[in-house]
Every structure is written in structure tokens, then in C-alpha cells.
Amino acid sequence: MHKFWCFIVLLILISCENDVRVNMDNDGLPVVYCVLDVDDTLQQVRLAKSFFPEKGYTDQDHLTVAQWDEPVEIYIEEWTDSENPNIYNFIKADTIRQDTGYFANPSFQLFQTAFIPKPNIKYYLYLWFPQRNLYAYASTVVVEHPEIITPAAIPGRKITFSDMDDFIVELRLPLNSGFHQFSFILNIEEHKGTELNRDFFNFGAQSYDGNNGQLLLYLLNSSRFYGDLLSRYDTLTGSDYRRIEGVEFVTYSYGEEMRLYNQLFNNGAQPWEIQTYSSFKNGFGLFSSKTHSRLTNLELSELTYRLLTSDPRYAHMKFIR
């Protein structure tokens, strides 16, 4: 029995001691957002400071951020081969207003670098905080462009939204993608008296389909098309009229991180405002990529125009050919 107690005491004496930190440091956590844009030469990082988690944070959709006020070095590693990465250093940007674009908040500081991300290549984003002797980092594999099968920019092929037919979008999903937005954009001229306004009517959908390389079929319902038009455009009187001057189709494909970010916690006004998913180590935020594809010079069919201009249900919007 004595041996047993001696053994227990010995175990206690030689056991390790781990500090469990219940409360976070009160100097805040870096909050970083970077969505690499395959179709742009300028890549941006947004950086701020958060004291998240704060009291009652689970009830909030939005992360409260403050200005980042410590020195920081930001760079991206591009691993095109397994030996020597290309390194792109970010510098602080003052030319672009910080309250525009994604993750809009004036507290975010903007950093920029110039390069075009390559699809299917792995990128690491590092933020070095010398005062803290700490790296925050994340990685992503850059997304490709989707192949747009339908609609197709074939002269003569027109798009019909009618009571008898809906439109089916066909996309071949790119590698490393997880979230897709696609829509028809109708460029609309609105003539009211001597005033001319230009407007964009956006009709589309989004999909969280992650079956990379496979076909995505999505039905855009004609009744929703007309319903959205009716809820957007009011009655015009007199000689006022509207004219559709162009139709285009745009897609945005985002990386898998964006899918997680949106899908897991998509309960706010804007998907990027919900701050619960993070792709960063030693920090908080999102590192992902996106592509943008655009098909222009599409046409609505004669039938669609006739419905818009002459059908009693829609004629009050006064669209003309």
C-alpha cells in the first residue's frame, strides 16, 4: 500500500504543468481578408484588429473591428514548383477608399501587391507581426474559370423567358471551386421626361455545388424573371419608357474556403459579414480566390420582347423594343 501511495506522489511531482489560458490577450487578434482575383493584376489584403470573442459574440453576426496599429509585413508565396516559391510583398495602399468592395469597414487597412494568381496553384499568405513575434498565415489553391455552356454567345441564339419555357443554365464547374454566383444582367435605359437613367437588372442565382469538373444545371424560372421585374420597376406614364439596351451573363466562382465561410454561417445580411469561420492560423478571416467570367452581346427572343412590351401583365412597365 505504501508503494502505491509513493508511486502516486511521484507521479504528481514529475507530472507536466500546462497553462490553460481562459481569457484572450487584450491586445486583440488580427482579422485578415484576402480573396485573390484571377482576373486582376492587383491583389488586396484587408487587415484590422478584433477583440473577438467579446461578451455575447455568439448572438452577433458582425465582428467589431478596430484599426490595426502595429507594424506588419505581409507577403504571399506562390508555389509553382516544390523548391522555390515566388514571393510577392504587399505595401500599404492609400489610393483606394477602404470602405468599398468586400468586407467594407473603414477600420480595415488596405495592402496591395501586383501579380496575377495562377489557377490550381497553391498560395500561402503570411502576416508577420514583429512586436508580437507572431505569424498569422493561411493557404489556398486558386480557382479556375468555369466553362459556360448555356447561355452561349452564338449569333442568332436567343434567350426566352415565357410561360411555356424556363431557362436552364449549364456550367462546367472549375477545379478548386466551391461557391458560384451567376446571373443575367439586363442593361436598362429609363427615359423619364428629359431625364435618362441607366439601370442594371440582375436575374440569377447561386450554388454551393462543389462537384468540381462536373456539370451544374440550374433552372431559372420564367415566372420569377417577370416577378422580379414587376417588383423592381413601377408603372410609367405619358411618354416615359424603358429600353433594354443589352443582355449579358456573368459568373463568379469562388474557392472552397468561401463556400465554407458562406454555407456554414450564412445567416446574415451579407455572407462575408458573418465572422465565425476562419481559414487563418493565429488570426481570423478568409483567404480564398475568385474568378469572373462574362458573356456579352446576348439577346432576348422576339417572344420575350413581345411579352414585355405587349402582354397586359407587363405592359405598364412600358418597355419598348
Q: Which residue ranges make up the site for another protein (CB under 8 A)?
A: 149-150, 152, 154-160, 162, 164-168, 170, 301-304, 306
Q: Which is nearer to another protein, 165 or 240 (CB)?
A: 165
Burial class (CB in 10 A: 0-12, 13-18, 19+), 178: buried
Distance of closest approach, residue 149 Cβ to another protein, in angstroms: 8
Q: For residues 30 and 49, is the Cβ–Cβ distance under 8 A? A: yes
Q: Which amino acid is at 9?
A: V
Q: State phi, psi for 161 to the nearest 5 degrees.
A: -120, 110
Q: Which is nearer to another protein, 136 or 220 (CB)?
A: 220
Q: Which is nearer to another protein, 260 or 298 (CB)?
A: 298
Residue by residue, DSSP assigns 4-47 as HHHHHHHHHHH--------SPPTT-EEEEEEEEETT-SEEEEEE
Q: Which is nearer to another protein, 90 or 161 (CB)?
A: 161
SS3 61: coil
Distance of closest approach, residue 164 Cβ to another protein, in angstroms: 5
Q: Which is nearer to another protein, 70 or 165 (CB)?
A: 165
Distance of closest approach, residue 180 Cβ to another protein, in angstroms: 20
Distance of closest approach, residue 161 Cβ to another protein, in angstroms: 9
Q: Which is nearer to another protein, 86 or 150 (CB)?
A: 150
Measured between alpha carbons, how far is 285 from 262 in angstroms, rounded to an integer? 12
Distance of closest approach, residue 304 Cβ to another protein, in angstroms: 8
Distance of closest approach, residue 159 Cβ to another protein, in angstroms: 7
* Helical segments of 62-173, H only: none
Distance of closest approach, residue 297 Cβ to another protein, in angstroms: 12
Strand 73-79 to 86-89 pairing: antiparallel
Q: Which is nearer to another protein, 139 or 150 (CB)?
A: 150
Q: What is the CA radius of gyration of the chain?
A: 26
The torsion angle over the Cα atoms of residues 79, 209, 257 and 90, rounded to 10 degrees, is: 60
Burial class (CB in 10 A: 0-12, 13-18, 19+), 67: exposed
